[in-house]
A = this chain, B = another copy of it.
Amino acid sequence: MMAAMPRIIAIYLVRCDAASIDSRAAAIAVEQSVEMPISAIDDSRVLADIVGRVESIDDCGGSVFEVRIALATATTGLEPGQLMNMLFGNTSIHDDVALEDVVFPSEVLAAFGGPHHGFEGLRRRSGAEGRAMTCSALKPQGMPPEALADLAMRFARGGVDFIKDDHGLADQAYSPFPERVRAIARAVAEANAETGGRTRYVPSLSGHLDQLRRQVSVAREEGVDTVLIAPMVVGLPTFHALVCEFPDMANIAHPALAGVQRIASPLLLGKLFRLFGADATIFPNHGGRFGYSTETCQRLAKAARAPWGGLKATVPVPAGGMTLDRVTEMLDFYGQDAMLLIGGGLLAARERLTEETAAFARRVARYPDG
């Protein structure tokens, strides 16, 4: 009766003294599966097929242990929320445990399917053959639709590939989603008609599934084919549902509320967002406003792009206080299979916004030549 799928291997870092690690590991295996005293379980199939199994415990030094636990894949119901629940639901409440990585059997990859467009799809849309892609951001929130549309037109004239809404732009009284998206999409289309460019406007979606559906439908009517969404704000089940329901719509994932997780960023923003369908993933680059290390950024980009059971690659989008003078260094670090996002750094040019945007696009296109 039980499905005989290979197990998921969840890898935890546990801060613990050496004398207690065996029992801590066993307790996590129980907590993340049957969540009750094993001695009170009679069902032999539950004991054999459902209870989590400690596979290995490695001492990382400094009272930290890497614990690998094999979790029954069937318990996830192959649904994103329940998968997260089984990986870290109750154990997330223990502040001495972090979810470091997960090894999924191919059945899980096949069930969720990953990005529909991924790196190649986004590059094709933007015509960025042989170079990295470029992106900027519309802000500040609080401006009326026409003012944002004017800003978008000036960005588009500069030839950036993607113009995303700031993730603070939602469906607010001073700038309702339909009016905003229509005004901006038309302004960008007009600029493209002028320049012969193919800049894409990427509106930010928010709300529950029905609200998201209505927003996609408004965006699609305006020819939008790429949207921004914060998976941890809308919830992973909703994010994945949207990806499945609108396979033609590419998406860029935003890390809002994701940083708060005691889940390693390379796993969450790289691997898990990719599994559930992110075509690109924005994250805070090292040396910006946020504290990610170069190693974290490297691991995150690798999780997003490495060959992985036939899943398309997710585009890494380093961001968070980036500036024009970092373009060469960022491309040295990430290579060309990336998208560079500079928001405030371009907006600070004010009346020279179009020129500064053009300089950004040019620098990326000419790389490795200055």
List the interface of chain A (C-beta within 8 A of B). Answer: 1-3, 27, 31, 33-37, 39-43, 45-46, 49-51, 72, 74-77, 79, 81-82, 84-86, 88-90, 92-95, 139-144, 147, 166-168, 170-174, 206-211, 230, 233-238, 240-241, 255-263, 284, 289-291, 320, 343-344, 347-348, 350
Task: Say yes or no: B85 contacts A256, CB within 8 Å.
Answer: yes
Give bound CA distance, A236 to B206, whole Å: 11
Interfacial chain B residues near A39, Cβ < 8 Å: 348
Interfacial chain B residues near A94, Cβ < 8 Å: 259, 290-291
- What are 15 A-B contacts with C-beta separation under 8 Å? A34-B140, A34-B142, A35-B166, A35-B344, A37-B347, A40-B348, A72-B142, A74-B172, A77-B173, A85-B167, A85-B170, A89-B168, A206-B237, A211-B237, A237-B238
- Taking CB as reference atom, which chain B residue is nearest A92? B260
Q: How many copies does the complex hold?
A: 2
Give bound CA distance, A92 to B265, whole Å: 12
Across the A-B interface, give the 10 residue pairs with the lowest CB-CB distance, nearest first. Answer: A235-B235, A93-B259, A50-B142, A89-B256, A34-B140, A92-B260, A208-B241, A209-B209, A46-B142, A36-B344
Task: Say yes or no: A35 contacts B140, CB within 8 Å.
Answer: yes
Interfacial chain B residues near A233, Cβ < 8 Å: 81-82, 84-85, 89, 235, 237
Select the residue from A74, A75, A85 with max chain B CB neighbours within 10 A. Answer: A85
Give bound CA distance, A287 to B233, whole Å: 32
Task: Say yes or no: B77 contacts A171, CB within 8 Å.
Answer: yes
Give bound CA distance, A320 to B27, whole Å: 13
A209 touches which of B74, B89, B210, B260 (Cβ 8 Å): B210
A144 touches which of B1, B36, B77, B170 (Cβ 8 Å): B1
Give bound CA distance, A305 to B84, whole Å: 30
Task: Say yes or no: B344 contacts A230, CB within 8 Å.
Answer: no
Task: Say yes or no: B77 contacts A284, CB within 8 Å.
Answer: no
Closest chain-B Cβ to A289's Cβ sits at a distance in Å of: 7
Interfacial chain B residues near A144, Cβ < 8 Å: 1
Interfacial chain B residues near A33, Cβ < 8 Å: 140-141, 168
Task: Say yes or no: A167 contacts B347, CB within 8 Å.
Answer: no
Give bound CA distance, A49 to B143, whole Å: 11
Closest chain-B Cβ to A257's Cβ sits at a distance in Å of: 5
A77 touches which of B3, B50, B79, B172 (Cβ 8 Å): B172
Interfacial chain B residues near A45, Cβ < 8 Å: 142
- Taking CB as reference atom, which chain B residue is nearest A233? B81
Select the residue from A31, A166, A238, A344 with max chain B CB neighbours within 10 A. Answer: A238
Give bound CA distance, A241 to B234, whole Å: 12
Closest chain-B Cβ to A282's Cβ sits at a distance in Å of: 11
Closest chain-B Cβ to A63's Cβ sits at a distance in Å of: 16
Select the residue from A140, A143, A167, A241 with max chain B CB neighbours within 10 A. Answer: A140
A208 touches which of B2, B86, B172, B237 (Cβ 8 Å): B237
Task: Say yes or no: A261 contacts B259, CB within 8 Å.
Answer: no
A75 touches which of B77, B172, B241, B255 (Cβ 8 Å): B172
Interfacial chain B residues near A259, Cβ < 8 Å: 90, 92-95
Give bound CA distance, A241 to B214, whole Å: 15
